[in-house]
Structure 1
Amino acid sequence: MENLIKQLQEYTVLCVEDEDGIRKRLVNTLKYYFKGVYEASNAEDAFYLYKEYKPSLIITDIEMPNKSGISLVEDIRKNDIETIIIMVTAYSNEEYLLDLINLHINQYLLKPVNSDSLLNGIIKAFGNKLHEILSFHKDLYFDMSQRELFYKNALVPLRKRDKEFLILLYKNKNSVLSYELIEEYLWRDKSMSIAALKTFIKEFRKRIPIEIIINKPQEGYKLINF
């Protein structure tokens, strides 16, 4: 989750809500996640900001005076089906739901919206645009969607067992990865000899551009905290 949240900092968001108190709370929360946050209290101003700034995400209330959130989205969707849109409403209305499906809405949130439901809704709305990144060092990361390791944005060729070892190390980053766990997850139904493990670790270290593990004698291996 932490890595997914970090990726949101690459995006911008427009928050549309006519109730000032609710909008201010939403905007304050959104500022923790996004590099740019725009706000509007009505659909007319929101459409102007949309055309001006082309935000990555739009979060809009449905029920607003003069012009509804659905009308705003209809205007946007005339020429744009790519922008991610989350609709917020106090009512669970089947008629609204049908309209939202036709307008390619990415997510639908019911009021009251708290910080957890907002974040979960945002992550679901982004879908595959966000992917899990395992960071081992500021220059070294493993992209779970591609199952590839990168160093300074360059691909690091690895074997299947190397990748499994990296994932296992990350899952146990706050503790020592025991020999028993290594044998269970990397050797599976085969027996792991100490000689085989030493050979694997030696070759693994050669393929990784920087040293990221330390050996804990008679215990196992641990990620280095950079």
Structure 2
Amino acid sequence: MENIIKQLQNYTVLCVEDEDGIRKRLVNTLKYYFRGVYEAKNGEDGYYLYNEYKPDLIITDIEMPNKSGISLVEDIRKKDMDTLVIMVTAYSNEEYLLELINLNINQYILKPVNSDSLLTGIIKAFGKRLKEIITFHKDLYFDMEQRELFYKEQLIPLRKRDKEFLLLLHRNRNVVVTYDLIEEYLWRDKSMSITALKTFIKEFRKRIPIEIITNKPQEGYKLINS
């Protein structure tokens, strides 16, 4: 979850809500997650800000003066079907919500909105745009869905045992991964010799483009800076 939330820092959001108190609370929460947060008190102002900043996500109330949230999204969808939209509504009636299906709404959040329902709605709206990743270095990450390692967006070919070792290191990132633990998880029911381990580590280090592990003599291995 931490990595997924961290990825939101790459995106911007527009919050459109006519009630000042509610909008202020939403914006303050959104600033914690997003790189840029814009706010509007009605659909008319919201449409202007949308054209000005082209946010990645729009969170809008439905009932507002000077242009409703529905009218706002209708205008946006005339030329843009890609920007993510979350509708905040007091209505839970399925028939009412189905009327909006052609507007390609990505998610609905029912009022009253709290921090948990807001974050859940945002993550659901982004869907697969947010990857479950493990970051080992600012340029080196493991994509859990693809089960692949990437360095500067380039795929790093790894064997199954290499991937298992990376995940083992991550799960134990605050402690030393002992030789016994490595034998148990990587060799399983087979016996691991010191020679076999040294060969594996040597080849592992060759495959990884940067140094991410350090050896603790007589103990095992640990992620660097972990």
Fold conserved (TM > 0.5)? Answer: yes
5+ long unaligned stretches in structure 2: none
Q: CA deviation at 1:150?
A: 3.4
Which residue pairs with 1:72 in the alignment? 72
Cα distance in 1 between the residues matched to 2:205 and 2:40: 53
Which residue pairs with 1:82 in the alignment? 82
Cα distance in 2 between the residues matched to 1:52 and 1:137: 35
- 1:96-115 to structure 2, matched below 5 A, reads 96-115=96-115
Deviations 1:158-214 (A, max 9, x none): 222212211221122122324444334333454434432232112212222333223
Aligned residue for 1:170, secondary structure, equals helix
Q: CA deviation at 1:123?
A: 1.3
TM-score, scaled relative to structure 2 = 0.88
Aligned residue for 1:31, secondary structure, equals helix
Which residue pairs with 1:9 in the alignment? 9
Give the AA of the match of 1:224. I
Q: CA deviation at 1:134?
A: 1.7
Equivalent pairs, count: 226
- 1:1-226 to structure 2, matched below 5 A, reads 1-217=1-217, 219-225=219-225
Aligned residue for 1:32, secondary structure, equals helix
5+ long unaligned stretches in structure 1: none
What is the aligned-residue identity percentage?
A: 83
Q: CA deviation at 1:140?
A: 2.8
Q: How big is the alpha-carbon RMSD for the aligned residues of Structure 1 and Structure 2?
A: 2.2
Cα distance in 1 between the residues matched to 2:42 and 2:66: 8
TM-score, scaled relative to structure 1 = 0.88
Aligned residue for 2:44, secondary structure, equals helix
Cα distance in 1 between the residues matched to 2:212 and 2:138: 12
Aligned residue for 2:136, secondary structure, equals strand
Q: CA deviation at 1:151?
A: 3.6
Cα distance in 2 between the residues matched to 1:43 and 1:26: 16
Deviations 1:97-154 (A, max 9, x none): 2123332211111122222221221111111111123222234322334433334454
> Mean Cα displacement is larger for which, 56-65 or 198-207?
198-207
Cα distance in 2 between the residues matched to 1:46 and 1:61: 11
CA contact (8 A) 2:27 2:37 kept: yes
> Mean Cα displacement is larger for which, 104-113 or 11-20?
104-113
Aligned residue for 2:10, secondary structure, equals coil
Cα distance in 2 between the residues matched to 1:114 and 1:121: 11
Deviations 1:34-72 (A, max 9, x none): 121111111111112112221100001112235321222
